[in-house]
Structure 1
Amino acid sequence: MADIRIEFDVPAEMRDGTVLRADVYRPAGTGPWPVLLTRLPYGKQMPLLAGILDPLAAARRGFMVVIQDTRGRFASEGEWDPWTHEESDGYDTVRWAAALPGANGSVGMIGASYFGNTQWMAALSKPPELKAIAPMVTWSDPDDGLWTRGGAIELGITAPWTLMMGPDALMRRHGADPATLGGSLVSLVQDLDGLAGGGYGELPAGRFPAFVRHDLPELGYERSRREPEWARSCTVAGRHDEVDLPTFQVGGWYDIFVQGTLDNFTAMRRAGRSATLVVGPWSHANQQHVIGDVNFGFGANSALMGMRGRLTDMQFDWFQHTIGDDEALEPDTGKVLLFVMGINQWREETEWPLSRAVERDFHLRADGSLTPEPPSTAEQPEEFTYDPMNPVPTTGGALLMTDDFRPGPLDQTAVEEREDVLVFTTEPLTEDTEVTGRVRAVLFAATDGPSTDWVARLCDVDEHGVSRNVTDGIVRVRAATPGEPAEHVVDLWSTSIVFRAGHRIRVQVTSSNFPRWDRNLNTGEPEDSATTARVARQHIYHDPERPSRIVLPVIPG
């Protein structure tokens, strides 16, 4: 380690003259070395970065490491404008990094979340020196997990992310006026600390008042509604054919972007590219073995990977194949490594989704049961009242919010005791039942207003009767005909779990999950101006003509 050389704040000039700065780590010796590059807006020396890319460990493995502050953040010049410049700045930075003293001309990129997306944007810009990318826990379509989900606003991430990005922006804005800076920072922190205590509930949700108060660039939902074409600046979906590179993608079953990770993988495979996929039981920021209320076993930890070794070493090995000097090591077509919850085992596959999965319907019944058999006669529809001012509270899931809201599988007792949550449960299973793949709910439902939301959640009920969430989803209905039943499909994304013999499968149906998703005020007014709510009367149908159900991808035993 004493031989590793570090240069701080090395300047790189972008095409418009803006200077971005990076820390550069060089191994012992004279090189040349392949370059591992990451570009992030959170500070290039942030403590959590080591869990994604430990630059010293990478340098010991023979990589030159370049960690750059994105435009308008920390040591880099320019205006902070989320997403807008990442494609062009990514191109310019890759070319600059490949030409650094000691570099061998080949660049790979690595990083998570925002700096998973900066890799995709750089790859789409096609710098010739970029040879491979390894995006972790990042999206494909920003309107499927980043900005919205099923048409509802991802308020849970949008509000804290925007406010947490504020201190650096305010210090740049008021750096010459300490008094103003101090007051603005105090006000910002108060809003951030107050989100869980009521701040999330400010209206209108589509033009969030806290962002207006502090004049901050928000995550992108609001701008993308005003400027639809601008959304392309962080959209990967539909553009995978433009990326002719091998990819190593990492996700977690309780990560807010898990479906985006899976979609990126499948799209790259369809495009004929080498693609590797690893999905653990993890959340967005936790790759250890205890997620939510569940201990998945030490083998689930990314430091062990079921005794395969560290995930970071797997990534380094892969980069040695793709950007290293050994031309004899050609990347293969990629691998798939999935963690199957319930039995808590890693399993190697060759594909995603699994072609051997068989879709099975489990029907919601009037007596609260969940059965493979559909209703043979008309059953009375279920009713509940949805009050946006008393929404169902977010309790676990694939989320990224303030620390008051834990991700992962959590006890659902308090949720399921509410009168505005319908619960449907199977009999105890007589044998293990594996569900691996994409889950959806088909609801025949009616509301008495012009707009509402439908939320469905899949749960595992253990032998002691404790119900824990597995996966969920939402769909926003913007043009309902009051009182008229209609079919609504709720995408619950994907999972891999074995429901053990003696356990029961449960489905919750309701109309809110707040503040993860913004509340539908049931009026049909646009989210950027709606401030008045009405109570909605909801009906779920289950009869031969309207068989509400959940569709599970079951792996034959």
Structure 2
Amino acid sequence: MQIEFDVPAEMRDGTVLRADVYRPGGAGPWPVLLARLPYGKQTPMMTVLLDPLAAARRGFLVVIQDTRGRFASEGEWEPWTYEESDGYDTVRWAAGLPGSNGSVGMIGGSYFGNTQWMAALSKPPELKAIAPLITWSDPEDGLWTRGGAIELGTTVTWSLLHGADTLMRRHRTDPAALVSSLGRLVQDVDGLAGGGYAELPAGRFPAFARHDLPELGYERSRREPDWARSCTIAGRHHEVDLPTFQLGGWYDIFSQGTLDNFAAMRRAGRSATLIMGPWTHTNWQHVVGDVNFGFSAHSEYMGMRGRVHDMQFGWFQRILGGGDGGAVEPDTGQVLLFVMGINQWREETEWPLSRAVDTHFHLRAGGRLTPEPPSTAEQPEQFTYDPMDPVPTTGGALLMTDEFRTGPLDQTAVEAREDVLVFTTEPLTQDTEVTGRVKAVLFAATDGPSTDWVARLCDVDENGVSRNVADGIVRVRAATPGEPAEHVVDLWSTSIVFRAGHRIRLQVTSSNFPRWDRNLNTGEPEDSATTARVARQQIFHDPARPSRIVLPVVVPA
């Protein structure tokens, strides 16, 4: 095997991007696997999403490139802006490398899952397949915002952590300035959990201006709405005439985006493969949060199917061909879901599952959650939401500082708060599978002009321990004070069997901070709001206003 470092590729505007190239032994030709990422092409995280040595051993010419303005590549760092044009130019360049058979596949996750979609939308003729892992579809549904609330935890953490390379490039000739600027940045990162996340205004976050750093894109997308197209896939899937391999996790920050991308490609008549594990954005092992899902859940094992990497490599080889340069038609794709609760992988042919039936569980007096709707008047539930004392983020689909653990966690402390309403079923008499998209329908009122509604689905075990399964938020920007209105909270999707003897629980509240920014209840824009007011909230559950959670229940065949 040969490895070449910092191989230059000139883009259409003359900017030079650099890549490491892993070339198998022998004469080739070999298909190319390309990854374009802003995290440093030799970062250890690469081995989780793409093991270049293993790929080269399987007969791929592997190209890993620093995106524009990052690490060894030239240019200014602007998240998303150049990925479509640079992706096109890089694919064409990689296809012409010595030893290439002229067919290119792209691989990687998160940001460099999106670089694949952008390259595919630009339609370089040599690009034959993409494997975008743990990435979004619509940046307004999980990247920048969710239900209208800012994805503050992701935005702040990502933007500040990726500021280090920007500062190193900016002060490369001034060691004193470099040390000083990096020190201040590290201080801000270390202080996030202790109060830094709470800086206001959330929509024009002070730390970004303080360090003069590019942010993830929320703020720019508000200034330049058309620019958001630079990382939006939603609505454009029909433009991508390639087979795709999607992989995600039920506790990943982009879990719904992965599912939406797969479903859209299938609707467009494309070959598409989907794998969904019980994983988070950075943990593809079998112990996630407080739960051991069994070793079969590990991405190195996959229920005796072998490594995820090998499954991907086999998929690419079927499409891109091998040493003779020939390719074969791809298969029609498969769906492989990990069903939590029973902790089993299951093969399907579709997503969403057509046999799942939307089943309503109604909020009732006394904290009950029942299949039966209320037949008589019941008094609304009330609580007070103080933005200066928000419900703390406890588990879930997170990408934040290490103080905030991801995945399913014990909700005891959260559910003990007076600003969290809890509704629970009786112990289940039989296993109940929920696989698909979950939503809560809340009839609610607030006494101010704006507020948030947060809903969280939990699994309560036989010992009474409640753990989060899925959650969501919706921001109400123009409420009529005191007037009930219907609000639908999208909790995204899951696959779990609530075991017999367990109970299904729904939490309802108005905050999940600092994962999502706090609604200050004043109606002021997020980019200028700094003053908060306490809100008095009501949740209704009566025959005219039947608040409920809607679960896609799969009945055993």
TM-aligned CA deviation for residue 260 of structure 1: 0.2
Q: Which residue of 2 aligns with 1:354?
A: 353
Corresponding residue for 1:381? 380
Counterpart in 2 of 1:489?
A: 488
- Residue 343 of structure 1 corresponds to 342
**What is the aligned partner in structure 1 of residue 435 from structure 2?**
436
What SS does structure 2 have at the residue aligned with 1:454? strand
Shift of 1:366: 1.5
Q: Amino acid of the residue matched to residue 474 of structure 2? A: V
**Secondary structure of residue in 1 paired with 2:365:** coil
Question: Structure 2 counterpart of 1:407, which letter?
Answer: T
Q: Name which of 239, 243, 261 aligns with 2:240.
A: 243
Look up the SS of the partner of 1:117 in the other structure.
helix
Q: Report what 1:301 is aligned to.
A: 298
Residue of structure 2 in register with 1:547 after alignment: 546
Measure the CA separation in 1 of the matches of 2:219 and 2:192. Answer: 19
- Aligned residue for 1:408, secondary structure, equals coil
Is the CA contact (8 Å cut-off) linking 2:321 and 2:327 kept in structure 1?
Answer: no
Q: Letter of the aligned partner of 1:344 in structure 2? A: N
Aligned pairs for 1:65-214 (under 5 A) are 65-214=62-211
What's the secondary structure of 1:96's corresponding residue?
A: helix
Q: Which residue identity is paired with 1:475?
A: V
Distance (Å, rounded) in 1 between the aligned partners of 2:420 and 2:285: 32
1:34 aligns with 2:35: no
Contact 2:319 2:327 in 1 (8 A): no
TM-superposed deviation, 1:56: 0.7
Amino acid at match of 1:316: F
Aligned to 2:457: 458
Q: Give a deviation string over 1:104-134, Cα, whole Å, max 9, x none.
A: 0000000010000000000000000000000
1:278 aligns with 2:312: no
Distance, in Å, in 2 between the alignment partners of 1:293 and 1:434 is 21
SS in 2 for 1:520: coil
Shift of 1:51: 1.3
Does residue 225 of structure 2 align to residue 228 of structure 1? yes
| Residue 316, structure 1, aligned to residue 313, structure 2 | yes
Q: State the partner residue of 1:365.
A: 364
* Alignment partners' CA distance in 2, 1:311 and 1:42: 22
SS for the counterpart of 2:9 is: strand
Partners in 2 of 1:467 and 1:419 — Cα distance? 17
Matches within 5 A, 1:369-518: 369-518=368-517
How far 1:227 moved relative to its partner?
Answer: 0.4
2:23 and 2:61 in contact (8 A); partners too: yes
* Count of aligned residue pairs for this structure pair: 554
CA distance in 2, matches of 1:23, 1:144: 33
Residue 30 (structure 1) shift? 0.9
SS of residue matched to 1:233: helix
Q: Deviations over 1:74-126 (max 9, x none)?
A: 00000000000000000000000000000000000000100000000000000
> SS at the partner of 2:235?
coil
The offset of 1:73, in angstroms, is: 0.2
- Distance between the aligned counterparts of 1:146 and 1:461, measured in 2? 30
Runs of 4+ in 1 over 3 A off after TM superposition: 325-329
CA–CA distance in 2 between the matches of 1:270 and 1:373? 35
Distance between the aligned counterparts of 1:18 and 1:468, measured in 2? 50
Q: Secondary structure at the match of 1:267?
A: helix
What's the offset of the Cα at 1:329? 3.5
Q: Spell out, residue by residue over 1:287-332, the C-alpha distance to the aligned partner (whole angstroms, 9 max, x if none).
A: 0000000000000000000000001000000000111137573211
The equivalent of 2:258 in structure 1 is 261
Query: In 2, distance between residues paired with 1:413 and 1:65?
Result: 48
Q: Name the SS for the 2:366 alignment partner.
A: coil
Secondary structure in 2 matching 1:29: coil
Contact residue 110 and residue 135 of structure 2 kept, 8 A: yes
Q: Secondary structure at the match of 2:303?
A: coil
Q: Does 1:556 align with 2:555?
A: yes
1:447-485 deviation per Cα after TM superposition (whole angstroms, max 9, x unaligned): 000000000000000000000000000000000000000
| One-letter identity of the residue aligned with 2:394 | T
Shift of 1:355: 0.2
| Structure 1 Cα separation of the partners of residues 165 and 496 of structure 2 | 41
Whole-angstrom distance in 1 between the partners of 2:176 and 2:270: 55
Alignment partner, residue 8 of structure 1: 5
Q: Give the CA deviation at 1:399.
A: 1.4
C-alpha separation in 2, matches of 1:328 and 1:500: 46
In the TM superposition, residue 400 of structure 1 has moved relative to its aligned partner by: 1.1
| AA in 1 matched with 2:328 | L
Instruction: Output the CA distance in 1 between the equivalents of 2:383 and 2:436.
Output: 30
Distance of 1:154 and 1:499 partners within structure 2: 29
Q: Is contact 2:157-2:399 (8 Å) kept?
A: no
Q: Which amino acid aligns with 2:208?
A: F
Using the aligned pairs only, state the percent identity: 85
3-state SS of paired residue (2:273): strand
Three-state SS of the structure 1 residue aligned to 2:367 is coil
How much does 1:62 deviate? Answer: 0.3
SS of equivalent to 1:181: helix
SS in structure 2 of the partner of residue 494 of structure 1: strand
TM-score, length-scaled by structure 1: 0.99
- Counterpart of 2:65 in 1: which secondary structure? strand
- How far apart, in 2, do the equivalents of 1:362 and 1:296 lie? 27
Query: Which residue does the alignment assign to 1:54?
Result: 51
- SS of the equivalent of 2:406 reads coil
Q: Which amino acid aligns with 1:345?
A: Q
What is the distance in 1 between the residues matched to 2:430 and 2:327? Answer: 48
Q: In 1, Cα distance between the equivalents of 2:26 and 2:215?
A: 44
3-state SS of the aligned residue for 2:553?
strand
* Structure 2: distance between partners of 1:366 and 1:93: 60
What per-residue deviation string (whole Å, max 9, x for no partner) do you get for residues 255-306 of structure 1? 0000000000000000000000000000000100000000000000000000
Secondary structure at 1:47 match in 2: coil
- The one-letter code of the counterpart of 1:127 is P
Distance 2:48 2:361 in 1: 40
- TM-score normalised by structure 2 residue count: 0.99
Gaps of 5+ in 2: none
Structure 2 residue 18 is matched with structure 1 residue 21: yes
